[in-house]
Amino acid sequence: MTFKKATWPRKLRSQEWFGGTSRDHIYHRSWMKNQGLPADLFDGRPVIGICNTWSELTPCNAHLRDLAQRVKHGIYEAGGLPLEFPVFSPGESSLRPTAMMYRNLCAMDVEEALRANPLDGVVLMVGCDKTTPALMMGAASVDIPAIAVTGGPMLSGQWRGQTLGSGTALWQMSEMVKSGELNQTDFLDAEQAMSRSPGSCNTMGTASSMASMVEALGMALSGNAAIPAVDSRRRVMAQLTGRRIVDMVKDDLKPSDILTRNAFENAIRTNGAIGGSTNAVIHLLAIAGRIGVDLTLEDWDRLGRDIPTIVNLMPSGQHLMEDFYYAGGLPVVLKSLLDGGKLHADALTVSGQSIAEDIGDVQNWNEDVIRPVEQALTQQGGIAVLKGNLAPNGAVIKPSAASPHLMQHTGRAVVFEDIDDYKARINDDALDVDETCIMVMKNCGPRGYPGMAEVGNMGLPPKVLKKGIKDMVRISDARMSGTAYGTVVLHTSPEAAMGGPLAIVQNGDMIEIDVANRRLHLDLSQEEIERRLSGWVAPVGRPVSGYARLFHDHVEGADKGADFDFLTGSRGHAVPRDSH
């Protein structure tokens, strides 16, 4: 921890707009004053943006305007001027073709809005899956003081005496309908019971994982990740966040001070301990790319290898985010890592203290929810990165969500050329498949889908489900919802639509997966792979125009975080050209 506070008072960036008597200064101030802002609010105090992903089309973030009011209270209390603004909000549940296609669009929106406006610092209001990494990416590229506050998870789903986890219950019930264990009427009845309150998915899905990543990275106040959206303490957290950003601006505590390599290593280990989403791999790679930290898939494998998963939450375990909060939340997990020598104790956080100081003397209030290390769900909780001739640049699997008996398996490939092919044939009883086969799906990567949809956890064929089989090995270049589970190999890179070896797998080819040895092997000679690749034709046409064209031309592989090639790196806050 080498951070040295800036001196205060000093002239802030916002004063370039507001701090003078020229025509332009009057212009900037006067128009702002049409909102009824008193003159003394432009006296050189920190101007704080509240970057809000509120949207009724992003239901997980639909309560963020209310929460922003609490942030404003905090900013005013600490002597700052809050100015709330909207950015494109990529909502997970409705956006087509997939919210992931718009993560980078949101990140661009955030970056440009922060740089172009008279802001000295920013509070990032996030929640739903893609909103968190997008705002972190944009803020990292501008590198003004920034702090995140998440919207918090929904209350636990409750239905007929059962606890329903967001997403996880949906996938399970859908399979039960197919196997005949649940009827459609009951499935529909459970719909409202799954989503009982404002907030993000209540499982340890991508939203909860990313909220935990933000806290482990040191970019949110300690304890932020798990507080339920409707708990009064979520509002308190928002208010304290508002107070804190003002001091961060005075100290000039920036993302580049916090988002060090050690911070990312802490986050990767934390993801193993919480049984976090595979999506965190992509998002952390992208955030690291924005701040100049050379993070790789190998780091994920190396750092996560010996991390036990101690958080007993769905989809890997049994409980939900509400239970996690009542047990003590993420600080208890960080303490466990710290005690095990798996956390860089001196990593700086938004508090201005080290992460160890933030954690303090926390207590675990429920050892079934946050397990002691000796009773971990699995001792190998990290994301495993597989490599081989089927994934030269790597693929990932989440061992804690997979079936132990399938972690080493050789099977006959049953190939789907894309998601439409899968949907068209999966329910056909004539499909030549049994539980020993390996289901392969192509063309669902960043360029192929486009946007790399969460379709990698392909539902099993009904004729296999009816035998009582719950899991099969599945391989694709897609992602998987953080709420999903199964022996699912994802993010196979290079993707099929960019000519990766996945593109030439055929029905009947034998594939070997060996998680312990990190191996993903297509049982063909190199000559045969090259012969097939020489005849390969890209299945995806280049979009003629629009954002889809930009995305197609510039999105990078999953192994690099699927950011745009021209957006990696930090560009700072200097305005390229001032027009006034």
Question: Footprint of ligand FES on this chain (CB under 6 A)?
Answer: 60, 92-93, 128-129, 166, 200-201, 205, 207
Shortest distance in whole angstroms from residue 203 CB to ligand FES: 8
Shortest distance in whole angstroms from residue 291 CB to ligand FES: 24
> Which residue's CB is nearer to ligand FES, number 126 or number 285?
126
Based on DSSP, count helices (H) and strands (E) in the chain, helices before strands.
Answer: 20, 14
Sheet holding 47-52, edge to edge: 81-86, 47-52, 121-126, 146-150
**Contact of 99 with 558, CB cutoff 8 Å:** no
> Which residue's CB is nearer to ligand FES, number 169 or number 201?
201
Shortest distance in whole angstroms from residue 42 CB to ligand FES: 37
Shortest distance in whole angstroms from residue 194 CB to ligand FES: 11
Q: Give dist(CA 17, CA 36) in Å, integer.
A: 18
**Tokens at 209, concatenated:** 């994982």
Tell me the three state secondary structure of residue 370. strand
* Nearest in space to 7 (alpha carbons), one of 250, 244, 247, 245: 250
Q: List beta partners, residue 147.
A: 123
**Contact of 111 with 135, CB cutoff 8 Å:** no
For residue 183, CA distances in Å to 173, 177, 331 come to 9, 6, 41
> Which residue's CB is nearer to ligand FES, number 90 or number 328?
90
**Tokens at 14, concatenated:** 């916002």
> Which residue's CB is nearer to ligand FES, number 376 or number 484?
484
Question: Helix/strand/coil (H, E, C) string of 71-137?
Answer: HHHHHHHCCCEEEEEECCCCCCCCCCCCHHHHHHHHHHHHHHHHHHCCCCEEEEEECCCCHHHHHHH
Q: Give dist(CA 284, CA 290) in Å, integer.
A: 10
> Which residue's CB is nearer to ligand FES, number 128 or number 383?
128
Shortest distance in whole angstroms from residue 128 CB to ligand FES: 3
Shortest distance in whole angstroms from residue 129 CB to ligand FES: 5
Shortest distance in whole angstroms from residue 156 CB to ligand FES: 14
> Which residue's CB is nearer to ligand FES, number 89 or number 336?
89
> Which residue's CB is nearer to ligand FES, number 93 or number 353?
93
**Counting Cβ atoms within 10 Å, is residue 377 exposed (0-12), middle (13-18) or buried (19+)?**
middle
> Which residue's CB is nearer to ligand FES, number 14 or number 166?
166
Shortest distance in whole angstroms from residue 98 CB to ligand FES: 12
